[in-house]
């Protein structure tokens, strides 16, 4: 039985750098975008999408969801284009295991996207990467899903303090980011994926393959929980804040 390690931690006091500071060469980079700031549907971002992406956007019934998809996909195209030295509208996406998005061709870069409420996150790295953001919903009855999603130790941690919602979303986003990074997806082993702060040993089959992993929680904005997971690297990710200047063209 092959055993590897998962290190879970909190990234404290991170600095959100501006986009001009990005070299597009970081081992792992996480970008955040305020979807509320981009309140209108950008013609420029729309122009970058392929016909199948336009059709997908039009299938959303709510204009809010259409806008979120167009902005997320268009911004991902811009970022991927900067990393691979390609025109944004020439970027090709493919689907990996469990429909995990990937860049076509041997670019050497891995991608992942998540959005919730008013925020979108984009992760790009030279190793497998996954990212998750969740708007904290104080009315969500999470107790119902604890047994199927968390180990007894994790359940005790969540229920052990008054900030149970914060703890639930902290561990949930870690697990989500991890299974998105591995491409394993949510299955019957989801509750076995380690998420408590510390170093954990886990069977290779649970990790979607070999190698050691890092999972880090970080703050996007008040009322949100987020995490990024990636194959082991010596340095933590760089964090960048995007704004609507990206598509004011």
The model's confidence at residue 184, banded by pLDDT at 50, 70 and 90, is: confident
Q: How confident is the model over 86-104, as a mean pLDDT?
A: 90
Measured CA to CA, the distance from residue 48 to residue 205 in angstroms comes to 38
Q: How many Cα atoms sit within 13 Å of 126 on the Cβ side?
A: 11
Which of the 8 DSSP states describes residue 160? T
138 SS3 class:
coil
Which of the 8 DSSP states describes residue 237? P
The model's confidence at residue 232, banded by pLDDT at 50, 70 and 90, is: confident
This prediction's pTM: 0.94
pLDDT digits (tens, 9 = 90+) for 134-181: 999 998 999 999 999 999 999 999 998 778 999 999 999 999 999 999
pLDDT digits (tens, 9 = 90+) for 28-73: 999 999 988 756 678 889 999 999 999 999 998 888 888 889 999 9
pLDDT of amino acid 104: 93
pLDDT of amino acid 35: 87
pLDDT digits (tens, 9 = 90+) for 190-224: 999 999 999 999 888 877 776 899 999 999 999 99
pLDDT of amino acid 235: 85
| Angle between helices 63-84 and 51-58 in degrees, nearest 10 | 150
> Is 211 in contact with 232 (CB distance < 8 Å)?
yes
Match 């953001």 to its residue by tokens.
133
Q: How many CB atoms lie within 10 A of CB 219?
A: 15
Question: How many structural domains does the chain have?
Answer: 1
Q: What is the CATH number of the domain that holds 36?
A: 3.90.470.20
pLDDT of amino acid 244: 78
Instruction: Give the domain range for residue 154.
Output: 3-247
Q: 133: which strand partners?
A: 226
Reference 60, options 78, 73, 48, 47; nearest CA is 73
């Amino acid at each position: 039985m092959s055993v590897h390690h998962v290190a879970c931690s909190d990234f404290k006091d991170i600095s959100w750098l501006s986009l001009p500071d990005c070299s597009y060469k970081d081992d792992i980079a996480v970008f955040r975008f305020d979807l509320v700031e981009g309140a209108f549907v950008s013609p420029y971002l729309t122009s970058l999408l392929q016909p199948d992406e336009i059709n997908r956007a039009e299938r959303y019934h709510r204009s809010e969801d259409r806008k979120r998809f167009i902005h997320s996909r268009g911004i991902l195209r811009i970022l991927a284009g900067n990393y691979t030295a390609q025109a944004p509208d020439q970027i090709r996406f493919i689907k990996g295991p469990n429909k995990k998005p990937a860049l076509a061709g041997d670019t050497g870069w891995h991608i992942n996207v998540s959005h919730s409420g008013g925020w979108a996150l984009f992760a790009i790295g030279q190793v497998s990467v996954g990212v998750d953001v969740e708007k904290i919903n104080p009315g969500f009855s999470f107790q119902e899903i604890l047994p199927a999603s968390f180990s007894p130790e994790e359940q005790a941690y969540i229920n052990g303090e008054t900030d149970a919602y914060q703890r639930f979303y902290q561990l949930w986003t870690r697990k989500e980011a991890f299974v998105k990074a591995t491409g394993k997806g949510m299955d019957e082993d989801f509750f076995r994926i380690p998420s408590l702060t510390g170093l954990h040993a886990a069977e290779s089959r649970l990790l979607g393959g070999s190698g050691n992993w890092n999972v880090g929680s970080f703050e996007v904005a008040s009322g949100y929980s987020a995490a990024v997971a990636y194959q082991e690297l010596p340095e933590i990710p760089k964090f960048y804040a995007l704004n609507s200047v990206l598509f004011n063209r």
